[in-house]
């Protein structure tokens, strides 16, 4: 697809500096810009690249003032916030290149399933009995939608996703390849024969609207009731979420983390990569958790930042870490003091 600077400026309500008729048909990073591509400059650290980039159009902030000459082949579009405007263009491009409504011949759709308007269902997808697929949903090949599952309007379910029975996906959600929504929670009890007996998991998973789930993430169904991922939550790849967990609105969680069963996370939290959260605790709204932290207990104060494993207050952790870094020197000094003390004691005995 090809767009002119004038068309792009119209979409972004931006101001053109340069040739309004120049056209682009691709995107590039500013340091790798090529003729015919669109790029952006938001971070001042990358400003030097704008003077050498070959990109035909660059989106910049209104406040940007060139300190050196810019190539006459480079047209600027000034906007209020370059990064968010570039993201808006990416979204526009994504929508423009989306699959057209179609149920491919090799897809299976149960006669009792309810399918909305303008839906795409790819080959070898399986839509089970009583499933509900909303308007404008995209379900890519090899995806499984279980009995009584519901997919809200405008959602995208990429290839090889499994949405188990009775689970609900809200409107405008995105679930990336390999994710599993509604696998059994990890529920077992020891029995008289010294074996583990499975506890049936009869609840479900509810994803509210505008949730995004990364590739190969698993969200377990509740033992009873629901595991709930609330509106606007964004979860990265390779995350494990246990049964009966609740994650509050607009919380984000980076890759390779795990949340044990029945933990309750507040809204507007930020959870770093490889974080582990134990079960049956509550974390207050706005909690910030640094990468690789292990969270063992409830946090009641909103806006708390924690680091470490076990995790505790970030400022205290930093002070402790400074001591830890100096530990070899401290140990060397301690050995010197012990040696000197030993000599003093020996001298006292000789002079005693």
Q: Do 195 and 47 belong to one domain?
A: no
H helices present in 171-212, as ranges: none
The domain boundary, picked from 44, 79, 96, lies at 96
In this structure, are 176 and 257 located in the same domain?
Answer: yes
Intra-chain end-to-end CA distance of the chain, in Å: 96
Q: Report the candidate in 309, 176, 302, 178 with the shortest Cα–Cα distance to residue 251.
A: 302
Task: Write out the two tokens for 15.
Answer: 């101001």
**What confidence score (pLDDT) does residue 270 get?**
97
* 91 and 115 co-located in one domain: no
Instruction: With respect to residue 298, please indicate whether it lies within any of the assigned structural domains.
Output: yes
Paired tokens of 52: 């050498």
Does 337 reside within a domain? no
Q: Which of 217, 293, 297 is nearest to 264 (CA)?
A: 297
Q: Are residues 120 and 35 in the same domain?
A: no
Residues 169 and 252 in one domain: yes
Same domain, 199 and 56: no
Q: Has residue 351 been placed in a domain?
A: no
**93 with 12: CB under 8 angstroms?**
no
**Same domain (yes/no): 54, 121:** no
Report the pLDDT value the prediction gives residue 126, as an integer from 0 to 100.
98
The number of distinct structural domains making up the chain is 2
Judged by phi (left if over 0) then psi (alpha if -120 to 50, else beta), residue 268 lies in left
Active site residues: 243
**Residue 247 belongs to some domain of the structure:** yes
Of 61, 96, 131, which marks where a domain is finished?
96
Task: Say yes or no: 35 and 158 in one domain.
Answer: no
Query: In 3-state terms, the chain is what percent helix, strand and coil (to 5)?
Result: 20, 30, 50
Residue count of the chain, please give it: 352
Residues 242 and 189 in one domain: yes
Residue 43 lies in a domain: yes
The predicted pLDDT at position 352 comes to 63
Q: Give the residue among 239, 200, 192 at the shortest CA–CA distance from 223.
A: 200
Ordered alpha helix ranges (H), 61-172: 82-96
Whether 183 and 76 map to the same domain: the answer is: no
- Do 58 and 117 lie in one domain? The reply is no
Domain at 16, CATH number: 3.40.1390.10
316: three-class secondary structure by DSSP: helix
Tell me if 321 is assigned to some domain.
no
**pLDDT score at 160:** 98
Taking only the tens of pLDDT, the chain with its 352 residues reads 788 999 999 999 999 999 999 999 989 999 999 999 999 999 999 999 999 999 999 999 999 999 999 988 999 999 999 999 998 888 887 777 778 899 999 999 999 999 999 999 999 999 999 999 999 999 999 999 999 999 999 999 999 999 999 999 999 999 999 999 999 999 999 988 889 999 999 999 999 999 999 999 999 999 999 999 999 999 999 999 999 999 999 999 999 999 999 999 999 999 999 999 999 999 999 999 999 999 999 999 999 999 988 876 877 877 777 777 788 888 888 898 888 888 888 888 777 6
Contacts by residues 248-253 (CB-CB < 8 Å, ≥ 24 positions apart):
248/285, 249/208
Q: Exposed/middle/buried for 108, CB within 10 Å: 0-12, 13-18, 19+?
A: middle
Which residues constitute the domain of residue 54?
A: 3-96
Q: How far is the C-alpha of 237 from the C-alpha of 244, rounded, in Å?
A: 20
């Amino acid at each position: 697809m090809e767009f002119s600077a004038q068309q792009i400026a119209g979409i972004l309500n931006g101001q053109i500096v340069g040739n309004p008729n120049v056209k682009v048909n691709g995107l590039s990073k500013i340091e790798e810009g090529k003729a015919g591509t669109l790029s952006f400059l938001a971070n001042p650290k990358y400003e030097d690249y704008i003077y050498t980039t070959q990109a035909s159009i660059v989106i910049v902030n209104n406040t940007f003032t060139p300190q050196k000459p810019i190539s006459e082949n480079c047209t600027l579009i000034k906007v209020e916030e370059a990064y968010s405007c570039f993201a808006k263009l990416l979204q526009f491009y994504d929508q423009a290149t989306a699959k057209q409504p179609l149920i491919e011949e090799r897809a299976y759709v149960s006669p009792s399933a309810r399918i909305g308007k303008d839906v795409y269902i790819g080959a070898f997808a399986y839509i089970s009995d009583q499933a509900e697929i909303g308007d404008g949903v995209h379900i890519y090949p090899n995806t499984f939608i279980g009995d009584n599952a519901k997919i809200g309007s405008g959602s995208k379910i990429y290839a090889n996703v499994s949405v188990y029975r009775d689970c609900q996906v809200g409107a405008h959600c995105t679930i990336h390849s390999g994710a599993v929504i509604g696998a059994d929670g990890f529920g077992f009890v020891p029995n008289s024969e010294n074996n583990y007996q499975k506890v049936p998991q009869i609840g479900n998973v509810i994803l509210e609207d505008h949730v995004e789930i990364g590739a190969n993430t698993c969200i377990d169904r509740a033992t009873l009731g629901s595991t709930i991922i609330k509106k606007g939550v964004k979860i990265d790849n390779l995350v494990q979420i246990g049964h009966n967990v609740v994650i509050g609105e607009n919380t984000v969680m980076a890759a390779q983390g795990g949340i044990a069963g029945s933990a309750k996370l507040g809204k507007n939290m930020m959870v770093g990569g490889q974080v582990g959260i134990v079960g049956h605790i509550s974390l207050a709204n706005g909690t910030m958790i640094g990468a690789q932290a292990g969270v063992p207990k409830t946090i009641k104060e909103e806006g708390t930042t924690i680091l470490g494993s076990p995790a505790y207050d970030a400022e205290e952790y930093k002070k402790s870490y400074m001591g830890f870094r100096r530990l070899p020197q401290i140990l060397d000094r301690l050995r010197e003091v012990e040696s000197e003390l030993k000599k003093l004691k020996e001298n006292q005995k000789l002079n005693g």
